[in-house]
Structure 1
Amino acid sequence: MTDSPADSSAPRIIWIVEDHASFRRTLARVVQSEPDLSCAHDFDSCETALEGMTRFTRPDVILLDVGLPGMSGLQGIRLFRERSPDTLVIILTVFEDDEKIFDAICAGAAGYLLKTAGADAIVSAIREALAGGSPMNPRIARRVLEMFSKLAPKTHDYGLSAREKEILDLMVKGLIKKEIADRLTLSVHTVDTYLRRIYEKLEVNTRTGAVAKALKERLI
């Protein structure tokens, strides 16, 4: 292993892991032509790249294909990150299905690009990742947002009326039954009736349970 202190003026080290030889060579030439980047090594599998981490200076960025012989790129991400936590992994692939995108991001990929991206876009993505960004083309970014929006907890509709929501809001603010009645110019008996309806709709038995559910599910 030949790690050495980083030289801010030295080109950033880029590795390519891609089994398509022609595409790999083309990509290496593109990267090498940039004055601030250096394609130090390229590999045709995750296995050979992981072996390279024991022999060469570890890269700043790995451009990684998904569909590789042997270990897939998705499997390789975690191993690259475990062996070199400071190395950024950008997926560069033909696949754009939700499962692969999600798995790549969860495994620690810093970006996700399609091979149809032009040379300039790939170079820009490398620089964006090095600057702390998460490069993705607009279509992939939209898919990511859609996927994560589906994971967000759904707000239940418990059928609370406007008045019941108003009373629930006052409960969350800490007002007791009599204070709620005075605030809304209602009798304590009427407020008590509303409270029973609120508890029934929220499927709770206590004031604490109603307040907890209102806060957890953002009902107000």
Structure 2
Amino acid sequence: MYSQPEPRIVIIEDDQTIREGYAYLINHTSPYTVVATYPSFDSARNKIGRDNPDVIILDIQLPGTNGIDALPILKKLLPDVYIIMLTVYETEKTILDALANGASGYFTKNTPTAKLIEAIRDVVQGGGPMSPDVAKTVILSLQRNPDSPLTKRETQILELMTTGKDRGQIAKELFIEIETVRTHTKNIYSKLNVNSKSEAIQVAKDKRLV
């Protein structure tokens, strides 16, 4: 009986230890074969067509062309390829940009190899595997009210308020001045027609603004 060949994998990752570690473990602990590895998209660009991968494991923070910008180019070169993002970055914008540009899965770099091997199997079967923290970010984004009157920065500040952080902690986390936080907070109260942090949090939750 004819059986399908196991998927061919290409890894594009600038950290040599991570790149070689994943390649070794995938080759030795799974039925899949890593046919090539590259330290950047630019070094892979002219060769990856000949590699003919079924799945590409792609880092986001690459020298030269970054992973987000590489995604649509790879999908044009290899329309049927599945691309799993592997990154330390899990900001909402990065995740949504990656998925919008054609990523099939999204994992953070602390993901155990066994989970990554499972993800390879899942994507070739039509799934969209993600780290739990990434999936949570995507779900929250989809649940959020698209008609929110708040700007992205105001939403960030309000989200941090709901976790109990004060102005100083919010300023530190977002790398902005306390006075800037104060101004944004004033704007939030005005837009939501409230006079206190607790009222703002309640309205935000009721209207799904965070």
Normalised by the length of structure 1, the TM-score is 0.63
For residue 76 of structure 1, the aligned residue among 70, 77, 94 is: 70
In structure 2, C-alpha distance between the alignment counterparts of 1:24 and 1:137, rounded to whole Å: 19
Tell me the SS of whatever aligns to 1:51: coil
Normalised by the length of structure 2, the TM-score is 0.66
Greater Rg over alpha carbons, structure: 1
One-letter identity of the residue aligned with 2:87: T
For residue 22 of structure 2, the aligned residue among 24, 27, 36 is: 27
In structure 2, C-alpha distance between the alignment counterparts of 1:8 and 1:64, rounded to whole Å: 28
> Conserved in 1, the CA contact under 8 Å of 2:30 and 2:117?
no
Note the C-alpha offset of 1:35. Answer: 4.6
Note the C-alpha offset of 1:149. Answer: 2.2
For residue 137 of structure 1, the aligned residue among 128, 131, 135 is: 131
In structure 1, C-alpha distance between the alignment counterparts of 2:57 and 2:108, rounded to whole Å: 11
In structure 2, C-alpha distance between the alignment counterparts of 1:134 and 1:147, rounded to whole Å: 17
Tell me the SS of whatever aligns to 2:52: coil
One-letter identity of the residue aligned with 2:136: R
One-letter identity of the residue aligned with 1:120: A
Question: Please, which runs of 5 or more residues in structure 1 have no aligned partner?
Answer: 1-6, 155-220
One-letter identity of the residue aligned with 2:19: R
For residue 39 of structure 1, the aligned residue among 34, 38, 58 is: 34
Q: Deviations over 1:47-72 (max 9, x none)?
A: 12221124x23100000000000000
Aligned to 1:48: 43
Aligned pair count reads 147
In structure 1, C-alpha distance between the alignment counterparts of 2:91 and 2:4, rounded to whole Å: 39
Change beyond 3 A, Cα 1:77–1:26:
same
Percent identity of the aligned residues?
A: 30
Tell me the SS of whatever aligns to 1:92: strand
Change beyond 3 A, Cα 1:35–1:113:
closer
Aligned to 1:66: 60
Note the C-alpha offset of 1:9. Answer: 3.7
In structure 1, C-alpha distance between the alignment counterparts of 2:32 and 2:80, rounded to whole Å: 17
In structure 2, C-alpha distance between the alignment counterparts of 1:47 and 1:150, rounded to whole Å: 37
Note the C-alpha offset of 1:147. Answer: 1.1
In structure 2, C-alpha distance between the alignment counterparts of 1:35 and 1:90, rounded to whole Å: 17
Note the C-alpha offset of 1:17. Answer: 0.1
In structure 2, C-alpha distance between the alignment counterparts of 1:103 and 1:151, rounded to whole Å: 19
> Conserved in 1, the CA contact under 8 Å of 2:57 and 2:83?
yes
> Conserved in 2, the CA contact under 8 Å of 1:128 and 1:134?
yes
- Please tell me the root mean square deviation across aligned C-alpha atoms, in Å: 1.6
For residue 8 of structure 2, the aligned residue among 5, 8, 13 is: 13
In structure 2, C-alpha distance between the alignment counterparts of 1:151 and 1:44, rounded to whole Å: 40
Does 1:125 pair with 2:123? no
Does 1:114 pair with 2:108? yes
